Amino acid sequence: MKKSWIIIIVLAILALIIYFSVKGTYNSLVNKEEWINESWAQVENVYQRRADLIPNLVNTVKGYAEHERQTLTDVIEARAKATSVNIDPANLNASTIQQFQQAQSGLSQALSKLMVVVERYPELKANQNFLELQAQLEGTENRIAVERQKFNQAVRDYNAYIRIFPKNIWAKLFGFERKAYFEAQEGAETAPEVQF
């Protein structure tokens, strides 16, 4: 009779240990995945801030550079394309992040061309509205870099967590998979060539 009670107590203790292990791991996985979702939302937020600044920038430039219509049109089209790419955080993978990055890269290139055009108009470079918009755009670009870094940190933390034993067993059992990083575009290591 004593042996059966000992076996029951040992089994109950093992069941409790397994329960709390699974519960703790699952809840941690959910929290880490939510941190990734929150970080991604912040990345999209700062990109949206940049997109919101562009119409004011284009209108300011338009007043000074009427014959630069193609450059302005390119910026407007690139903005429309960049804002049309929305990614559900549940579907964050290398392919969707690359799609998002390509749209944002197109907008960055169009803005770079616009800034080159601005160099031809000294009176525009002295315009207070333009200077404020340019400063806000530069600040937003810095915010984008910071938020992308935070997103990558969240992904790194999550990816490492789901690969550690025994958490990897529970992660696989519950369907938690690796997330993709926000990586630099191909060719980003080469500085762009600007010609005036």
Show the domains of the chain with their CATH numbers: 2-174 (1.20.1440.20)
pTM for this one? 0.71
Name the more confident of 127 and 105. Answer: 105
| pLDDT score of 133 | 80
pLDDT value for 160: 92
* Lowest-confidence region among 58-72, 126-140, 161-175: 58-72
Distance of alpha carbon 37 from alpha carbon 184, whole angstroms: 20
pLDDT value at 192 more than 60: no
At residue 188 the predicted structure's pLDDT band, cuts being 50, 70 and 90, is very low
Phi, psi of 188 (to 5 degrees): -70, -20
Mean model confidence pLDDT for the chain: 81
H or E element, residue 161: helix 128-163
Q: What is the pLDDT of residue 101?
A: 85
- Of 133, 33, 141, nearest to 88 by C-alpha is 33
